[in-house]
Structure 1
Amino acid sequence: MSNLEELTLFLKVIRTQLPYIDGTHLFNDILINMLLLNKFTFSINTHVLDGDVKIDLPTNNDIQNSFIKIGYKQVDSYVDVNLSKIGAKCHVYSLPYEFDTFFDLTNSFRRGNFDKVRCLAMHDIHPFEHDYFKIISQDFPFLQKLTVINSEPQKNKQHSSTLITFAQLNELYLMDVHIDYVEQFLFETNTRLPRLNYLTINYEPLAIVTNNFMNDAARFNCSQLRNIYICEPFVRPENFHSYFTSL
């Protein structure tokens, strides 16, 4: 590996009672032996399971500085330390972002140009608001697959008049979400999904938001669907197929 000229790392790491992976760790464990390395592309998600033993975790500035010290200035990162009992998270990545997948996006995300990303997973213990999804649609303009995990209700129920469009979104996963996010994505007054083909969702929130498949507000986005995955058994009402006209 000492003759390696290019290195690409895409990592999702779980650590127990150890700090985030930062520039210092990468240099001491890997890069120090790569004297010919001239291109290093990376995306590293670290999930720290702290347990009962409290450890000192670096700040976002600490993460940034650890890469600057080893000569990598085109780096961005964000950290989340208020994650209740599940520990803390850090995502650090080289710029420009070269991967087609982006994991563990939270409200701490620092924005940027992610036009190569096609698959995005969002997860937070704090609510994602309407205006935040607008940011996501702008920063990830070619997104095709979106997973949202968030059980917290939106605080700003009076959505702004700005309509959000995910022009390329083909697959949407809303299994582990508060019902607010079902309304956020299916109501045409909130979000337009002109290419939505595949939806994974629980039956109860789908039935509630669509008013038992009679609500016109969700009809446009639902009419595009060719595939719906609902994991639990249910009895289809009479107007189910007339609501999902492309099934």
Structure 2
Amino acid sequence: MKDFTLENNLEGTHKFICKECSRETSHKIISSYCEHGHEDHGYGNTIAWMVKNQIIQCLGCEDVSFRISSTCSEDDDYDENGEHYYNETIKYYPSRFEGLKAINIYLLPDEVQSIYQETILAIENEQNILAGIGIRALIETICKDQKAEGKDLNQQINSLHEKSIVTKEGVDILHKLRVLGNKAAHEVQAHNKEQLSLAIQIIEHMLDGTYIIPHKVSRVLK
């Protein structure tokens, strides 16, 4: 059995992740199309479910996007106070990942820009193995663009320090990211959300210092 409910311009504000702001911001729900129902599996076993299809708008940047919230009576739990609740599965369209820095990708070289965008898409869509491989490919592409010397990525990363492109501490971090990418590529190991978030933040900092800030300096401080 299935029922439908349509609500427009719901009152109040809600904290959702905004793709443009790259963080959790206040949103309003413009429209919510709710599907809910239950299925009888016999022997008194009834499963209830609910799916809310929502058009949402950020109250900061005013970006409009789509959010799906779904719950099922089979997926329940208790909080630390013993209160019963149903776990909520959330999906956003376009997909998004909290904490990503909004860098100007158009100031990046074409190959670096392409790999960066694909890696971000993999992270946002929780394709964690592909994201790990993308992290390594991004470092390789930066090394290639900066004409880093060496027969392998290990030596090329060290070359970035010799060229004064990254600090000694930066080299140590890049080697850790190289190992992360190797495990994804060769051991098919999926890294968790926290690891990938930190990895891409580190690379974004490198992109900022290597490409974006020098471009701004050449334009502003002629």
TM-score normalised per structure 1: 0.25
Higher helix share: 2
Highest Rg: 1 or 2? 2
TM-score normalised per structure 2: 0.27
Greater relative contact order (CA < 8 Å, ≥ 6 in sequence): 2
